[in-house]
Amino acid sequence: MGNLKKAKSIHSKPIDQYTGIEVTGDFEPFEQKFDIYCRAMWDPKIKSQKTDAFFDGYYMPHAKARATDGFSLKDYAFRNAAWHVNNVIRDIEKSGEFRQEKPNEIRKEGFWDYYTSHDQGWHEPYPYENAAEATRDLKKIAGFCGIGDLGVCRYDQRWMYDSIFSMQGNGQKPQEIPKDITNVIVTLEPMDRDLIKTVPSALSGAATGLGYTFDGVSIITLAQYIRNMGYRAYATLNDSALCIPLALQAGLGEVGRHGLLINEKYGPRFRIGKIFTDMPLEISKPKKIGVREFCDGCDRCAKACPPKAIPFDAPSDHVHSESNLKGVVKWTPSAEKCFKFWANQNTDCIICIRTCPYNRDFSKLIHRLWFKLAASPFRGLALKLDDLWMDRGRLKTSHWWRPELEKIEKNDHSKRVKKRK
Ligand code: SF4
Ligand code: SF4
């Protein structure tokens, strides 16, 4: 590694004391086959005609388009197009045949497996002067790749999937990320606010699909850059390891009651990517941003969740099923209730993101000031202000497609009210 000077560790205490993650004696590493979407492939308690139709619906001939606002052909057409590039990159099949003909040979890269679409890189590690130089360059490239926020943490074996889900053999295969990898780069890819306003709808799934698509493209590009500099890099989305504890350790935010990460720039509105690498990098410091205290006094996501999957009570190590991580004190939604709702409405749901007070445009000063208020002892006032001034209702998708219709309908409504008076 040439004349590389070792970075001084910023952590003088165990990492959990910075993140607030409380691991109990019942902790067990997670096996990916118990992830709710993997269970929908093999577990008769979850897999049904409805869940099969849910997954098939992401491919246009199988979309369940209907005459309901948010679920029209147009809405499904955009949602499925938003996923398309991601599908092309992720569905790598050894046989080269169409995915549905040989489902047992699929590698779902980004979801079950790490990405393999890489060229050979440089033959020896670049001799960076120090980790600060490597980190500065990496962040510059990340910005050009469209990554919204980025942090780095140490590799932590606890959050690695103990085994990887596979449709072949007995449903499990060994973890493939090497254990001598030193660092994890955690990335955030923002999702569109206006599309999220339309949830529940097939259209809002376009925000998720585009989030994954852009996330995949940006982390594959960043991983190839790292390889081109002579280091190892494995680009992953939801595969290989738990995203949220790594994001906490990488200083990207705090977890809310809905079980999602809340970030200073994007609130809860992003997809997470991870790159496992041995590139020497500066390690980020976890940050407390007041979310835990704010969520203690707010239960809006729990109330808004149609199947009541989000807990109303304090964080605990209670698990609802094998799809939850055991032995960590936290807010744990029921993955089974949540996914059943998705399958029933035939598209994914992010009502908990739409209704969360942190779902704001933090590029605006007024919202950054609100964030400070929410992190202060006046957090109750911040919640009241959100109730008073933020419209968190559902936007009709017809109004997303044609915003002028919303104005016309509002004018007609106020004329009718005046007439009645
Ligand atoms: S995604 Fe929807 S169903 Fe699932 S927890 Fe959030 S609000 Fe509830
Ligand atoms: S809706 Fe309220 S309780 Fe739920 S995550 Fe957001 S701030 Fe926390």
Give residue-wise pLDDT tens across range 191-215: 999 999 999 999 999 999 999 999 9
Nearest CA among 213, 167, 169 for reference residue 191 = 213
Residue 395 lies in a domain: no
Any atom of ligand 2 within 6 Å of the Cβ of 260 = no
Asked whether the CA dihedral 387, 388, 390, 392 is positive or negative, the reply is positive
Any atom of ligand 1 within 6 Å of the Cβ of 351 = yes
**CA 261 – CA 331 distance, rounded (Å):** 11
Amino acid, single-letter form, for residue 187: T
Residue 263 lies in a domain: yes
Instruction: Determine the atom of ligand 1 nearest the C-alpha atom of 304.
Output: 7
Give residue-wise pLDDT tens across range 358-413: 999 999 999 999 999 999 999 999 999 999 999 999 999 999 999 998 777 777 76
Residue 409 lies in a domain: no
Residue 10 lies in a domain: no
pLDDT band, very low/low/confident/very high, at 414 (cuts 50, 70, 90): low
Instruction: Determine the atom of ligand 2 nearest the C-alpha atom of 299.
Output: 3
pLDDT band, very low/low/confident/very high, at 299 (cuts 50, 70, 90): very high
pLDDT at position 101, please?
47
Domain with 131, as residue range(s), is: 15-359
Residue 420 has pLDDT above 80, yes or no: no
pTM: 0.92
Whose atoms come closest to the Cα of 293: which ligand?
2
Instruction: Determine the atom of ligand 2 nearest the C-alpha atom of 262.
Output: 5
**What three-state secondary structure class fits 93?**
strand
Any atom of ligand 2 within 6 Å of the Cβ of 232 = no
Whose CA is closest to atom 8 on ligand 2? 295
Residue 61 has pLDDT above 90, yes or no: yes
Ligand 2 centroid – CA 396 distance (Å): 23
pLDDT at position 405, please?
84
Residue 402 lies in a domain: no
Residue 224 has pLDDT above 50, yes or no: yes
DSSP E strands: which ranges in 40-175?
91-93, 106-108, 149-154, 163-165, 172-174
Nearest CA among 188, 190, 174 for reference residue 275 = 188
Give residue-wise pLDDT tens across range 126-160: 999 999 999 999 999 999 999 999 999 999 999 99
pLDDT at position 181, please?
97
Residue 322 has pLDDT above 90, yes or no: yes
Residue 49 lies in a domain: yes
CA distance readout (Å), 356 to 199, 208, 262: 13, 17, 10
Whose CA is closest to atom 2 on ligand 1? 349
pLDDT at position 171, please?
83
Indicate the top mutation candidate among 264, 298, 385 to test ligand 2's pocket, ranked by most ligand atoms within 8 A of CB: 298
Residue 96 has pLDDT above 70, yes or no: no
pLDDT at position 59, please?
95
Any atom of ligand 1 within 6 Å of the Cβ of 353 = no
Mean pLDDT for the chain overall: 92
Query: How many structural domains comprise the chain?
Result: 1
Indicate the top mutation candidate among 255, 293, 300 to test ligand 2's pocket, ranked by most ligand atoms within 8 A of CB: 300
> Got the DSSP string for 270-333?
EEEEEEEE-S--PPPPP---SHHHHHHT--HHHHH-TT--S--S--BS--SSTTS-SSEEB---
Range from 4-8, 168-172, 199-203 carrying the lowest mean pLDDT:
4-8
pLDDT at position 253, please?
97
pLDDT at position 3, please?
39
Range from 65-69, 95-99, 241-245, 292-296 carrying the lowest mean pLDDT:
95-99
Stronger pLDDT, 408 or 96, i.e. the higher one: 408
Yes or no: say if 252 and 157 are a contact pair by the CB < 8 Å rule. Answer: no
Any atom of ligand 1 within 6 Å of the Cβ of 352 = yes
Whose CA is closest to atom 1 on ligand 2? 356
Any atom of ligand 2 within 6 Å of the Cβ of 267 = no
Any atom of ligand 2 within 6 Å of the Cβ of 293 = no
Residue 83 lies in a domain: yes
Residue 1 lies in a domain: no
- Angle at the Cα of 175 from the Cα atoms of 180 and 51, rounded to 5 degrees: 145
Q: What is the mean pLDDT of residues 56-63?
A: 95
Give residue-wise pLDDT tens across range 17-56: 999 999 999 999 999 999 999 999 999 999 999 999 999 9
- The H or E element spanning position 22 is strand 22-23
